[in-house]
Amino acid sequence: MLARKIFLVFGVTLILGAGQAIIGFAGQGQPQKRSGMVMTETLQVMGKGTDYILIGEEPLYVIPEITKITTRSGTAISLQRLRTPCLAEVTYARWMKGVEKLPVLLYLKVKSTKWAATTSESTE
């Protein structure tokens, strides 16, 4: 009888664990937990707009609820206060929106800014 109960508890635990893993993978929330989709690189931030930053020609979209931008000292700042161009450690993920994968900025830590860096936004 004890062996049946142990087997039942073990089986239910495996089923629930596998079910949650499948649900978590299928959903678009919490990209930090999908390590295959999250990239961290040191990149040159060339400019910014109202809801994106430019890495070369490619925009990385900023979602205020999840994107964290910090200065060299670790102080959190908004996108409007980010000085560009700058060298930064950038963590981003590609999220599905319809049929295309949009690159979304998760974390940006400024490493250094250029002497002519400004906080003004792009004219686009």
Dig out the tokens for 17 from the structure.
Answer: 């664990």
Q: Cβ of 79: how many Cβ atoms within 10 Å? A: 19
Omega cis (within 30) before 59? no
Closest CA to 67 of 87, 89, 86, 92: 92
Domain boundaries along the sequence of the chain: 1-30, 35-118
Dig out the tokens for 29 from the structure.
Answer: 């929330």
Q: Cβ of 107: how many Cβ atoms within 10 Å? A: 17
Share of the chain above pLDDT 90, in %: 34
pTM of the model: 0.63
One-letter amino acid at 48 equals K
Please write the tens of the pLDDT for every residue from 52-62. 999 888 888 99
